[in-house]
Amino acid sequence: MLVHMHVWGRLDDDDDWPRVLNAAFDDFVQWRKIHKVQCSQKRFTYKTVNRKDYGHFLNAKGYNARVLSEWLLAKIVEIRANPGNLILDERFDLTESTMRGVNRYFGLTERASRKLTLEQSQQIEEAGKAYLVGYRSLNYMSTRSGILAWVLVPKWHAFAHVLVDYVRLLRQNPRYVHTFGDEDMMMVLKGWAKNVKSKPREVGILKLSRMRMKTLQWRIPELRGHNRV
pLDDT for 221 equals 60
Are 51 and 59 in contact, with CB atoms under 8 Å apart? yes
pLDDT for 222 equals 53
Are 21 and 44 in contact, with CB atoms under 8 Å apart? yes
pLDDT for 220 equals 57
- Ranges 1-5, 54-58, 184-188, 197-201, most confident: 1-5
**pLDDT band for position 229 (50/70/90)?**
very low
pTM: 0.76
The 10s digit of each residue's pLDDT in 14-69 is 889 999 999 999 999 999 999 999 898 999 998 888 877 767 888 787 788 899 99
Residues, the chain: 229
Cα end-to-end span (Å), the chain: 46
pLDDT for 227 equals 45
Percent with pLDDT over 70 in the chain:
90
Percent with pLDDT over 90 in the chain:
47
Angle at 130 between CA 125 and CA 136, to 5 degrees: 125
Angle at 127 between CA 6 and CA 169, to 5 degrees: 150
Task: Return mean pLDDT, the chain.
Answer: 86
Q: Are strands 50-51 and 55-56 parallel, antiparallel or unpaired?
A: antiparallel
> Of residues 27 and 180, which shows the higher confidence score?
27
Q: Which helix (H) or strand (E) holds 194?
A: helix 180-195
Buried b (16+ CB within 10 A) or exposed e, 139-177: eebbeeeeeebbbeeeeeeebeebbeebbeeebbbbbee
